[in-house]
Each structure stands twice: as C-alpha cells, then as structure tokens.
Amino acid sequence: MLISFVKKGQSLFILSFTLWIAAGMLLLKIPAAYHAGVLSWNDALFIATSSVCVNGLTVVKVSDFTLLGQLIILGLVQLGGIGFMTLSASILLMLGRGLSFSNTLLISNLSDNFSLRGTEGLTRTVILYTLVSEGIGLLFLVPGFLLSGYGVWQSLWYGVFHAITGFCNAGLSPFDDSLIGQSRLTQFGVACMIVLGGLGVYVIYDLLQVMRKRQMTLRVHSKVVLLTSAILIVSGAVFLWLLGTVRGGAGTLGWFDAFFLSITSRTAGFTTVGLDVLPPASITMVIVWMLIGASPGSTGGGIKTSTVAVAVAAIINTFQGNRDVLVFRRRIPNANVLRAFTIIVLFVLLACAGAIVIQLLTRKATMMECFFEAVSAIGTTGLTIGGTGKLTEAGKLFLSLFMFMGRIGPFTIMLFLMGREKRAHLRYPEERVIIS
C-alpha cells in the first residue's frame, strides 16, 4: 500500500511541475508579454522552467518583459515555490471539502515528519506562512525602494515582486544588476525573505506547535535545520569576508555583502556585488553552499541542510567510535543515514556530469563557468559567473532539463528510496571489507 502511494506521489510531483512549465511557456509566448515581440520557444521554455523551479537563471532579462510578462513570471514563481500538491490540498481545505483519507495518508507519508493528525494543519500552515512572510517582507522592501528614489507605485510593485521571489528563493529581479546599488534596507529585507523561505514549513509548523504549547520541545529535525542554517550563514559570511579580496585592488568584500552572499548563495541567486570580482577561493565556497541548498519542505533546492547534517553527524560519530549516529541525544535510523549519503553522492555526480555536458555544448565557456552553471542549475540557486550568456541553443535546452532535475531530483530520489524499503526475511553472514 505504501509503495503505491509513494509512486502516486512521485508521479503527481513530476507531472505538476511539468504542466506548470508547459503552461508558463505558452503564456510567455504571448506577444504582449515581451517588449521585443514574441519570445522564442527555447527562451520561453528556459524562463518558464527557471520560474517554476524557482531557480533564477535567465537568458533574457526580466526587465525585457512587459508588466504582463513579469506578472506571469511572478505567478509561476509563487506556484512553483509553495508546490502544486500543497496548493491543491489547501484549496480543497478552503472549499470546506477536506482531504480524503488516501490523500491525507499520501501527504503524511511524503512529509515523513508529522503524524496523520497534523497533515491538514501542515497544509494550512504553508499558505498562511507564505502570505504572512511575504506581507512582512513588504514592510521592509517598500520603504527600502522609496529610500532608493522610486515612486510610490514603483516601490510597491518592486516590493511585491521581490517579496515573492525572495521568499520563494527564486532570485529573479526586474533590475538587470539584481540588487546591486539598492538600499541596505531593501537588501536586508530580501535576505530575511530568503531565510524565511529556506527554513521549510516543517520547521515553522514545529515552532508554532511549541509556541501554542501543543508540544514541549522542537523535534530533532527542526533543531538540526535551525542549527545547520545558522552555522552555514555565519561561517559562510566570515569566510567570504576574510577571503573576499576584490580583484583589481579595489579593497575587500564588505561585511554586509559577505553576509548577504552567504545567505543567497545557498538557494536564492540575488546579488549585492558582482561575482566576477571575487577570488577563486570565494567562488569555490559559493559552489559548495549552492550544493547544500535550503531545508526540506522549503521553497529552495539543493542537497538540503538536514541531509548534510546527518552525513556530518555520521562522520563525527564514526571518529568518536560510536556504532550509532547520535544527534541531540537521539539515534538517527540507519536508513536515514544511507539516504543522506546516497543523495549527496548522486547530487555531486550529477553536477560533475552536467558540467561536462555544458562544456561540450558551450565551448566558449571555461570549465569553471560550466561547473558553476551546473551546480547553480541543479541546486536551483540562479547565480552565475557569466556562463549563462554563453549558452548555445542546445545548451539552453540541457540547462532547462537540469534545472527541472534539480527541483524534483532530491525529493523524488527520497521517495524512490522510501518506496523501496523492505523487511529482510533472510540475513546473510557478515564479512568486513577493507576500508583505507
């Protein structure tokens, strides 16, 4: 029974994103959506995929789209960010129809974190949390754009756009140079949106349960995500600030820019400074952060913070001589540990393979640019060091596929592994393999 639900979940997940991308491509082909007339099919597919998969990589500037085109992009980002299945479940709840037992069981199995009773509350939390977070973001962003000299209506529109793309970790902006030159208040507001969107609804749901005193303490998952996210933000900022000497003798990377880049490099794709001025060490760190990504149940992509945390915990416990993987005085199941290492290895291998293919399809780009683009695509980050502008038509198609794989990949891999779990009726004799 569980396997059938898992397969249904995989199919629905992949199909939903495919349909939204197809619909978005058709909408972006409308002549009124693009200033230059009609967008090519390849470019429309690329932008639609980037929007739905909340990636942020673009081959056409967002500013080249009309207001209608930007509204279409924004709608695709919002739908892609919160997830089609969550949206459909929430609509059913709002209509008062509720979820069927089978659908409730399906969503409960996919979350893999909450009880059956908490599933409907979880779906309500997604919509409420999204709207409240984006509303709070407006309180920072609109005054920030006003301080930058924009009019009231412009500031309101830019605020709405960046609140949604920031929370959804999409990295898309109507400005050609992203957030470079914008007020610090605007940049801080976007950074807050990225963090709120990247934590994941599981953590938010858990925090609300504790605040409402429905449970005494946070689950281990929430503790792991919060601690790992904090460590990544702080350590990344310090590393970038210490090694962020700007090329050309123009000084060093400022502490705020380092802090912002540490946040945005994991999932969002916004920038407050051009990446082309950073030294190779900083670029390498950005690549690692892009691979890690956001947290499960969030709008961001990547390997996920909890996956990396479980793998690191396994390594630490191995050095300590522990047979079990212990985190916050709780034992992590061996199945979770194996899933974590499997996802990490597959993710890295896919990134390497993608870089090679991009290099073959885009010969003008360096291998570093190709690897950066591959990681940015599969991690749904949206940052670039110049490789996107060098893509051939075949390269655009492949990168569109890669963005799609990055969005659905870790989740579907987890579902596949979960669906293949089976009880062993026979245990074979144990024999060690030399590891050196």
Residue 424 counted as domain residue: no
How far is residue 182's CA from residue 218's CA, in Å, rounded to a whole number? 37
Instruction: Domain count for the chain, please give it.
Output: 1
Strand-pair partners of 331: 326
How far is residue 46's CA from residue 48's CA, in Å, rounded to a whole number? 6
Residue 45 counted as domain residue: yes
Residue 428 counted as domain residue: no
Does 77 or 429 have the greater pLDDT score? 77
Residue 242 counted as domain residue: yes
- 71-124, pLDDT tens digit by residue? 999 999 998 887 755 654 544 444 444 445 445 544 544 454 555 455 566 667
With residues binned 3-state (H G I as helix, E B as strand, rest as coil), the percentages for the chain, rounded to 5, are 70, 5, 30
Percent with pLDDT over 70 in the chain: 81
pLDDT at 422: 58
Residue 263 counted as domain residue: yes
How far is residue 354's CA from residue 49's CA, in Å, rounded to a whole number? 17
How far is residue 102's CA from residue 42's CA, in Å, rounded to a whole number? 39
Residue 426 counted as domain residue: no
- For residue 215, the enclosing domain spans 2-419
Residue 113 counted as domain residue: yes
Q: Which helix (H) or strand (E) holds 327?
A: strand 325-327
Residue 112 counted as domain residue: yes
pLDDT at 419: 52
How far is residue 99's CA from residue 90's CA, in Å, rounded to a whole number? 9
Give this prediction's pTM. 0.87
Q: Are 31 and 363 in contact (CB under 8 A)?
A: no
- Which range (209-213, 254-258, 339-343) has the least confidence? 209-213
